Structure 1
Amino acid sequence: MKKLLTNLTFWVLTAITAGILLGHFRPDIALLPVLDAPIKGRFMGQELSLGATLSEFLSGLFISTVKLFISPIIFLTITLGIVSMGDLKKVGKVGAKALLYFEVVTTVALLIGVLVANIIRPGDGVMTSAVAGGDISKYTKSAGAFSWWQFFLDNVTLQVLVLAILTGVVLSRYSGRDAIVAAMNRLSKYIFRALHMVMKLAPIGAFGGMAYTIGKYGLATLLPLGKLMLTVYTTMALFIFGVLWFILRTARVNLLDYLRYVRQELLIVLGTSSSEAALPSLMEKLERMGCAKSVVGLVVPAGYSFNLDGTTIYLSMATIFLAQVFGIELTLNQMLTIIGILMVTSKGAAGVTGSGFVVLASTLTAIQVIPVEGLALLLGVDRFMSEARSITNFIGNGVATIWLANHERAFDRTQMHHAFSEVDSLESTQPGTVRQKTD
């Protein structure tokens, strides 16, 4: 019993359940105003947001606090990883392989989404009047032609990634780097210790996120678009236990063992609908399970910009769904055009305020076949589908890192077995240091 009460996964799961119950039975409490208006701003490059309602405030406080750790952890991990790697040609090779992997896997995800949506046809029979409309002006105003330059300017994670790579390259050529590297290693340990303290607040964030979602939209919102919801969740499950299972199998890693290893982070992503809330913890756990620091540092941050498997599936299915709702029979050329446009616009989902919804608006605007106004149909259920997107993105980036580390022979299998066997004790004790694997 004592072991259960000290297990963070137990408390996160309990908080999610409590949030659902509060949001369903007492939405007045879940949506109780605590601020006159939401607080939004940027600090240390990260966009921070605190909602005006009680539940949204609790969720936003946790997510915003975790986000403060993302930039320094990415910078230190990548810089130290490149210095320890030594061979700069290998850094370039790992980066090139990662981008190729991202493009192949996200294209597979895109094709699966289009295929399943055309087979099941979740939009058939859905009446536009069956779902309460909403204000989509803030999304359509943000929609426009995709710009790689704007993508880079909006994506702080990508900016930190580039800065860290440049710093690592400079340090690796600097003869007096030992003192600097030692100081950065000490700083890294302190940051991870602080992160462990913040992660103990995860149940509060999960509770707030779930209470806000259920309290604002209600379970009844799911009924009119239940077929779409079921299709999206089923497709993402097929992708995870089909495509990602196969990828891990080629690396001789069991998917279920890995999911059990990161179950705490999965629940945090589920409760907060944000994969970023678990990004620092994912990087730490991947190192602990045997992935080289250099590979983790390069692949995970880049993956959060270019390897959005769940978002790609959702964008493809939502586009086909809206075409079916409006009775638009897409030709083969139009379908290929949609696939081509989504291969580009889906890469911008991580760097745009409003994430997938804004990108979906941009995609519909570029296609000029499906009415953009159809987005109002998805407003009520987007938050629920955001959880599926975030979880799939999270799992996909972990799988990508493991596969690339294994392919680069920068993976300690003995350390992986040790980490998998001690997952329960690690969740209870939350040690402040990480066993780091370097090349």
Structure 2
Amino acid sequence: MSSVGSTSTATPSGRGRISQLITKNLYVQVLIAMALGILLGHFYPDVAALMKPFGDGFVKLIKMTIGLIIFFTVVSGIAGMQSFGKLGRVGGSALIYFEIMSTVALLIGLVVANIVQPGGSFNVSKDQLDASQINQYVAAAQDSGLAAFFLNIIPKTLIGAFTNDSILQVVFISIIMGLALGRLGDKGKPIRDMVDACSHWIFGIINMIMKFAPIGAFGAMAFTVGKFGLGSLQSLLVLILCFYLTAAIFVFGVLGIVCYRYGFNILYVLRHFKSEMFLVLATSSSDAALPALMRKLEALGCKQGTVGLVMPAGYVFNSDGTNIYITMAVLFIAQAMHVDLTIWHQLMILGVATLTTKGSAGVPGAGFVSLVATLALVPEVPLVGVTMLLGIDRIISEGRALVNVIGNVVATLVIARRENEVSPDELKHALLNKAPNQ
């Protein structure tokens, strides 16, 4: 009887562990949802294409909170800084780091595209392409020049910054208010306490929203596979594979070396933030992961002010994945349309892209808009050539968003290390520890 009893209790225990693994781990739930979405997209593409609102709805839920999260985090962090000199130092270091990494990403895309020649097997002329397909992107690119970019940092009203879907506007007013609150000294303590309480409150809302992450991942993945099935993309498969290979080189090579230089391991970073990475991959949106990323970075020992400054600014100034794609895509189009580009033309593309990738920040479909804006300033390559890439943009946008997020997480950890907010041993220990919901 005893052996029977022991056998009967073993099975529920095993099932219980599996159940706990699924219910307690967000990344497992997201993985299962992605797998179900892929299966639905493959076997029932028409039905899967109708799942798009689930993915879009989840991203909208996250986006509606991002402005408040950034505001409370930045205001609280800056007001609590012991010196405003640190604010300038952190901001300056971040911008220099962003510019270096962005340039490296552009260069890697340029080099790989020259070596692999992903568009070399194509023979496309302008007459074969329909320019009307890109009218919306051309209009957006024309409205996203550098002058407009800097002017748009200033919102029309303080409240308007939260309604314009502009991260940089929110960061701008948050810095101003944080500085003003810090200057109040003890008189501002009640306001600082309220801001801190509101920060905990808004993250409580995020915890509720994240329960729906698997549904969002399912909807987004089902739509992508159902709408664009890989069969129709075989002709452009070389470019897709080339991009993802280059992205891997950048993450494990360039960012891996940077992490090693500052005393931590890129593999530990990827493992610690795996839930957010899968979410970004499923939804093709880096915004979906921003709140959770900021919270985890603070838990690793990064100061609130550093996280509040570097992460949101990185979303605007440090789009490594987009930068890799821009130079690769421009050269792909030139190769496919048999346009010979000299080294000087390619250096001009590099210089133009450093501006256009920032000027389109905050614009819907920013990666594709940046590509259009870059080609608009490079007359040697026909602008209509971007229509060849419309079909694969959704597939590649997932990789762009993922590399953008990884780059900004590493940037925040690097700046925190430079400021001695966390030691290498402390950071390694924190990264190896199990993260919340994982």
TM-score if structure 1 supplies the norm length?
A: 0.89
Q: How far, CA to CA, are the matches of 1:215 and 1:137 in structure 2?
A: 25
Residue 41 of structure 1 corresponds to none
Aligned to 1:57: 53
SS at match of 2:390: helix
User: Does residue 81 of structure 1 match 2:81?
Assistant: no
Corresponding position: 1:235 with 2:246: yes
Q: CA deviation at 1:2?
A: 3.0
Cα contact 2:264–2:427 (8 A) shared by 1: no
Q: Any residues of structure 2 matched to 1:81-120 within 5 Å, and which?
A: 81-120=77-116
Residue identity in the other structure for 2:398: E
Partners of 1:247 and 1:155 in 2: CA distance: 32
- Going from structure 1 to structure 2, the CA distance change for 1:155 and 1:336 (only over 3 Å counts) comes to farther
Partner residue in 1 for 2:323: 312
Q: Deviations over 1:253-312 (max 9, x none)?
A: 111111000000000000000011101111111111111111111100100000000000
- Aligned partner of 2:138 in structure 1 is 140
Does structure 2 conserve the Cα–Cα contact (< 8 Å) formed by 1:257 and 1:420?
yes
The answer (yes or no) to whether the contact 1:261–1:420 under 8 Å persists in 2 is: yes
**Residue from 372, 387, 401 that aligns with 1:390:** 401
Q: What are the within-5 Å matches in structure 2 for residues 134-213 of structure 1?
A: 135-144=133-142, 147-152=145-150, 153=152, 156-175=166-185, 176-213=187-224
Matched, 1:222 2:240: no
Match of 1:295 in 2: 306
How far is 1:88 from its partner? 0.6
Which residue is equivalent to 1:271? 282
Q: Which residue of 2 aligns with 1:2?
A: 19
Separation in 2, partners of 1:72, 1:142: 26
Task: Summarize deviations over 1:330-384 as a string: whole Å, max 9, x none.
Answer: 0122111111101111113422222111121111111111111111110111100
Cα distance in 1 for residues equivalent to 2:260 and 2:425:
17
1:413 deviation in Å? 4.8
Equivalent residue in structure 2 for 1:17, among 27, 35, 40: 35
Following superposition, the deviation at residue 27 of structure 1 comes to 1.3
Q: Is the 8 A contact 1:110 1:312 kept in 2?
A: yes
Gaps of 5+ in 2: 1-17, 153-163
1:244 aligns with 2:255: yes
State the match for 1:433 in structure 2.
none
Quick one: distance in 2 between partners of 1:349 and 1:311?
A: 11
1:403 maps onto 2:423 in alignment: no
Give the count of matched residue pairs: 404
CA distance in 2, matches of 1:331, 1:417: 46
| 1:317 positional shift | 0.4
1:143 is paired with a residue of what secondary structure? helix
Q: Tell me: CA distance 1:55–1:415, structure 2 relative to 1, closer, same or farther (3 Å).
A: farther
Alpha-carbon shift at residue 329 of structure 1 (Å): 1.0
2:117 corresponds to: 121
Name the counterpart of 2:13: none
CA distance in 2 between counterparts of 1:132 and 1:210 reads 29
For the pair 1:280 / 2:291, whether they are aligned, the reply is yes
Contact map agreement 1:288 1:415 (CA 8 A) in 2: no
Relative to structure 2, which stretch is displaced further, 412-421 or 71-80? 412-421
- Measure, in 1, the Cα distance between the counterparts of 2:43 and 2:122: 28
1:86 CA displacement: 2.3
Q: 1:3 to 1:407 in 2, by over 3 A?
A: same
Runs of 5+ unmatched residues, structure 1: 32-53, 429-439
d(CA) in 2 for partners of 1:109, 1:320: 15
Give the SS at the match of 1:271. Answer: helix
More deviation in 135-144 or 103-112? 135-144
Kindly tell me: are residues 264 and 132 of structure 1, through their superposed partners in 2, closer, same or farther at Cα, counting changes over 3 Å? farther
Matched, 1:257 2:268: yes
- Greater helix proportion: 2
Looking at structure 1, the residues matched to 172 and 138 of structure 2 have their Cα atoms a distance apart, in angstroms, of: 30
> In 1, are the aligned partners of 2:262 and 2:424 still within 8 Å (CA)?
no
Alpha-carbon displacement from aligned partner over 1:35-78 (angstroms, at most 9, x marks no partner): xxxxxxxxxxxxxxxxxxx3111001100000111111111111
1:371 to 2:382 alignment: yes
Would the aligned equivalents of 2:145 and 2:360 in 1 still touch at CA under 8 Å?
no
Q: What is the one-letter code of the residue matched to 2:228?
A: Y
The structural deviation recorded for 1:204 is 0.6
For residues 430 and 266 of structure 2, the distance between their equivalents in structure 1, rounded to whole angstroms, comes to: 14
Runs of 4+ in 1 over 4 A off after TM superposition: 131-134, 412-415
- Please give the alpha-carbon distance, in whole angstroms, between the structure 1 residues aligned to 2:240 and 2:419: 38
Q: Are the counterparts in 1 of residues 319 and 404 from structure 2 also a CA contact under 8 Å? A: yes
Q: Distance in 2 between matches of 1:71 and 1:146?
A: 21
Larger radius of gyration: 2
Q: Please give the alpha-carbon distance, in whole angstroms, between the structure 2 residues aligned to 1:19 and 1:297.
A: 34
SS of the aligned residue for 2:420 comes to coil
1:257 and 1:177 map into 2 onto residues whose CA distance is 39
The Cα shift of 1:149 comes to: 4.0
Aligned residues: CA RMSD: 1.8
